[in-house]
Structure 1
Amino acid sequence: MTDPWYIDNVHILLRLLLSMLLGGLVGLERERSNHAAGLRTHILVCMGSTLIIMLSIYGFSEFVHEINIRIDPARLASAVITGVGFLGAGTILFTGKSITGLTTAASIWVVAAVGLAVGAGFYFASVAATFLILLTLVVFNKLEQRYIRSSKLHLISVCAISAPGLLESISDLLEEEEITVKKAVVNERSNVPYGELQPPSTTVEIALNALSKRAFDPLELASRIRRIDGVSTVSID
């Protein structure tokens, strides 16, 4: 292709297929990790970015030599980067204790950039970027979890019948597991049995925001908390 404003159908198809492959590689990693945006999402974002940048460069080539008309191939590319930001924001979730989905949002954004690079014919950069993206998502994730993983925040919810020493028993158990409570919310409710001549009972709902410096088995911890006298339900997120 000697004319920078012309592209034939073969190269259009090759660029779309390459963007499908590169976007699919990143999406496959996200799909295997069970994230919100997976294989198809990344393929569509990457392929769409490729199509848009090719449209921006070659779609208006007939007007290049017209008087008083200026062609800016980067204009649609900047719109793609901005628009993909909104798509990535949809994968970010705030659960009340932590924010998740930032890495997936970033992967969608960078896959859009890969698609733009493919569409512009920047093949080496797009392939190299895809390799580095996968290196970051797979290898660095394992290194982070094994060596530099910071304390993780958990939400522990306990429902129990009010009894002396209940909070102390839960606190001692969490201390044994090296879990630090950063915030505690305790709500008491009085329940009067309907149609029964029994004294009202007081239930306690305990919500704990706790930091754990090491991984633990949530089922085992929930089972140990459940064995405390008066505890009826336990939830660990």
Structure 2
Amino acid sequence: MEWNFIWRLCAAGLCGTIIGLDREYRVKDAGFRTHFLVALGSALMMIVSQYGFEDLLATHDGLRFDPGRIAAQVVSGIGFIGAGTIILHRQLVRGLTTAASLWATAGIGLAAGAHMYVVAGAATLLTLFGLEALTLFFGGLGRKRTLLVYSSAHRAAVEAMFDKLKTSRYTVISYEVEARKIDGEVRYRATLVIRAKGAAEENEFVDLLRATPDITVERIV
């Protein structure tokens, strides 16, 4: 029986690692180690919920346990980890997909822990399909927002760059400019949230910024 449990844990960990490798390839904070542990821990909780109280059931007639309660707690508890991967800054939201993959990985771990290997394997493939294949087919519909911060000693240069970004192949969602004195020199810093239009490359604006010597790029998120 113990080897059966170990196999379930290994199956869950393998499925979690496969999904985590995709997130690692995409340079996300929650990589293969996090997904491995989430799947492994979920499988372990399911096994304990199903078989960890057999001695009590044998010695107490009429005593019943509901394994579904552990599964429900895992699903709700994984939200804390998922929330930790989500970053909200100004009008930017990052990490939602990774949080969703962690939530799905928890379900895969529960399925493996419940001896449902085919379901766990199918869910792993479908999760990867959602992470990769759907991006290839519909990636143009979900262009991400990018936070761009650049500065210049000349207010006119900052405004001119804004006009180039706005009139080219990007949508400017928000824009603000502030003046700061650094080492006795006034510099104008612009903070924009932009999104690529149509077939425009999401990082095409980098070449536009590099072509302007008066502009200093401070941050791109």
> Which bin holds the TM-score, normalised by the shorter protein?
0.7 to 0.9
- Deviation per CA, 1:71-105: give whole Å up to 9, x if none: 11112211111111101111111233411111111
The partner residue of 2:110 within 106, 109, 116 is 116
Q: Retained in 2: the 8 A contact 1:179–1:212?
A: yes
CA distance in 2, matches of 1:156, 1:219: 10
**Are the aligned partners of 1:222 and 1:235 in contact in 2 as well (CA < 8 Å)?**
no
- Pick from 148, 164, 170 the counterpart of residue 156 of structure 1: 148
Q: 1:181 aligns with which of 172, 177, 199?
A: 172
> Could you say which residue in structure 1 is the equivalent of 2:209?
222
- 1:52 is matched with 45
Question: Which protein is richer in helix relative to its size?
Answer: 2
Q: What is the aligned partner in structure 1 of residue 28 from structure 2?
A: 35
Structure 1 residue 203 corresponds to structure 2 residue 194: no
Residues 124 and 191 of structure 1, relative CA distance in 2, 3 Å threshold:
closer
Q: Distance in 1 between matches of 2:32 and 2:9?
A: 16
Q: CA deviation at 1:36?
A: 0.8
Q: TM-score, normalised by structure 2?
A: 0.86
Distance (whole Å) between structure 2 residues aligned to residue 210 and residue 43 of structure 1: 35
SS in 2 for 1:34: coil
Distance 1:58 1:36 in 2: 34
TM-score (norm. length: structure 1): 0.81
Residues 136-151 of structure 1 correspond to what in structure 2 (within 5 A)? 136-145=130-139, 147-150=140-143
**Aligned partners of 2:158 and 2:188 also within 8 Å:** no
CA distance in 2 between partners of 1:192 and 1:106 (Å) = 46
Report if the CA contact (8 A) 1:222-1:236 is conserved.
no
User: Contact between 1:154 and 1:236, CA under 8 Å: does it hold in 2?
Assistant: no
Runs of 4+ in 1 over 4 A off after TM superposition: 189-193
Measured against aligned partners, the alpha-carbon deviations of 1:167-215 in whole angstroms (never above 9, x if no partner) come to 552244224532233332222346795xxxxxxx643222223332121
Mapped partners of 2:183, 2:109: distance in 1: 64
Cα separation, partners in 2 of 1:166 and 1:28, compared to 1, 3 Å: closer
> Match of 1:31, SS?
helix
Q: CA deviation at 1:108?
A: 0.9
Q: Which residue identity lines up with residue 174 of structure 1 in the other structure?
A: L
What is the CA–CA distance in structure 1 between the aligned matches of 2:136 and 2:187, rounded to whole Å? 43
Question: Is 1:234 aligned with 2:217?
Answer: yes
Distance 1:141 1:68, change over 3 A: same
The Cα RMSD (Å) is 2.3
Structure 1 residues 14 and 166: CA distance shift in structure 2, 3 A: closer
- Alpha carbons of structure 1 residues 19 and 79: separation in structure 2 relative to 1, 3 Å: same
Change (3 A) 1:154 1:23: closer
Q: Which amino acid aligns with 2:28?
A: H
Give the fraction of aligned pairs with identical amino acids, expressed as a percent: 33
Decide whether aligned partners of structure 1 residues 177 and 74 sit closer, same or farther in structure 2, where only a CA change above 3 A counts.
same
**Range with greater deviation from structure 2 (114-123 or 61-70):** 61-70
SS of the residue 1:121 aligns to: coil
- Whether 1:17 and 2:10 are equivalent positions in the alignment is yes
